[in-house]
Amino acid sequence: MKIIEIKNLKKTYEDNSIAVHAVNGVDLSIGEGEFTAIVGPSGSGKTTLMNIIGGLDEATEGSVIIDGINTLELSTRKLTDFRMYNIGFVFQAYNLIPVLTAKENVEFIMQLQGIKKAQREERATELLRAVGLGELMDRKPSKLSGGQQQRVAVARALASKPKFVLADEPTANLDSKSTENLLGIMEQLNEEEKITFIFSTHDQRVVKKARRVITLEDGKIISDKRKNSNNTD
């Protein structure tokens, strides 16, 4: 089942009076439960495409249909709500709220959604256990390693039960061990919970784990390859 359908997506901006086509006619469908990496050199349009899919940036032309709704036609206010209920975000620099504990960081989105305290606590605990942080959930981000912070970020991204998770260079700041650990958790969540992950990455370790790799160049998709689900290399 398709959860994202992008048609003829274009994003053009002006740089010193020169038109730059950051995304130039992208057509793309992403189905439920996919584990997809978007790759490409710097300036290929990966981040812009991710931002438009995530409702953080506007497009010049085209449509992004998520769950039957063209997000490009939503007002800023509706788009904010749409992101809260439908999209999970994992950022390169974790972007946790430093004054909240790991558990509170995960609970935060659910509180924005108006979920009751008991339910929030139960789900936050469950998610933090799922990412291997059951023992560290009362620590603040400053008391966690980079890898642990990114795992909290994954738990936070899943807290709102989103349709998919957008992970923008999630391993860029992590060492090999933490990367391996994080990718293992995400892969497990994808396989067991059927959670859809879309990565924007330069990291070959992520590319190896991905079951679909979309390559962008100059704002266009130049390749879209699917691997076997049992890919282990």
Positions touching another protein (CB under 8 A) are 47, 51, 54, 56-57, 76-77, 80-81, 83-85, 89, 91-93, 95, 97-100, 104, 107-109, 111-113, 156, 160
Q: How far is the CB of 4 from another protein (least distance, A)?
A: 17
* Minimum CB distance to another protein smaller for 34 or for 104: 104
Rg of the chain over Cα atoms, rounded to whole angstroms, equals 17
Cβ 127 to another protein shortest distance, Å: 15
Q: Which is nearer to another protein, 28 or 56 (by Cβ)?
A: 56
Cβ proximity to another protein: between 81 and 175 the closer is 81
What is the spatial distance between Cα 101 and Cα 106, in angstroms, rounded to a whole number? 9
* DSSP secondary structure letters along 113-132: TT--HHHHHHHHHHHHHHTT
In this structure, what are the phi and psi dihedrals at residue 132, rounded to the nearest 5 degrees?
80, 25
Q: Are strands 69-70 and 61-66 parallel, antiparallel or unpaired?
A: antiparallel
Q: Which is nearer to another protein, 47 or 190 (CB)?
A: 47
CB of 91 to another protein, least distance (A): 5
Extended strands (E) in the chain:
2-15, 18-31, 35-39, 61-66, 69-70, 87-90, 164-168, 196-200, 212-217, 220-226
Instruction: Give least dist CB 186 to another protein, A.
Output: 18
Roughly what angle, to the nearest 10 degrees, separates helices 146-159 and 176-193? 20
Least separation in angstroms between residue 230's CB and another protein is: 34
Query: Closest CB to another protein among 48 and 178?
Result: 48
Residue found by looking up tokens 């063209």 in the block: 70
